[in-house]
Amino acid sequence: MNSNQLQELFERVQRGDLDVLSALARFENSYQDSSRPSSGHITSTNATAETSDAAIDLDRLQRCGFPEVVFAEGKTIESVVSIFDVLSRNEQNCLATRVTAEQSAALVDRFPNAISSEIARTVRVQVAAQELAGKVSVITAGTSDRPVAEEAAETLRWMNVDVGVIEDVGVAGPHRLAEQRGRFADADAIVVVAGMEGALPSVVGGHVDCPVIAVPTSVGYGANLCGFAALLGMLNSCASNVTVVNIDAGFKGGYVAGLIARRCAAAQSRHDSKDIHTQ
Q: Is residue 130 in a domain?
A: no
**Which of residues 104, 125, 146 is at a domain's end?**
125
User: 45 in a domain, yes or no?
Assistant: yes
Angle at 102 between CA 87 and CA 129, to 5 degrees: 30
Range of the domain at 215: 135-264
pLDDT in tens, 143-160: 999 999 999 999 999 999
pLDDT at residue 31 greater than cutoff 80:
no
> Based on the number of CB atoms within 10 Å of its own CB, is 230 exposed (0-12), middle (13-18) or buried (19 or more)?
buried
User: What's the pTM value of the predicted model, to 2 decimals?
Assistant: 0.81
Rounded-to-integer distance, Cα 160 and Cα 117, Å? 16
**pLDDT tens track for 202-240:** 999 999 999 999 999 999 999 999 999 999 999 999 999
SS3 (DSSP) at 103: helix
Residue 96 confidence (pLDDT): 98
Residues 144 and 255 in one domain: yes
How many structural domains is the chain composed of? 2
152 with 41, same domain? no
Contacts of 151 (CB under 8 A, 6+ apart): 97, 120, 121, 122, 250, 251, 254
Last residue of a domain, one of 125, 149, 168: 125
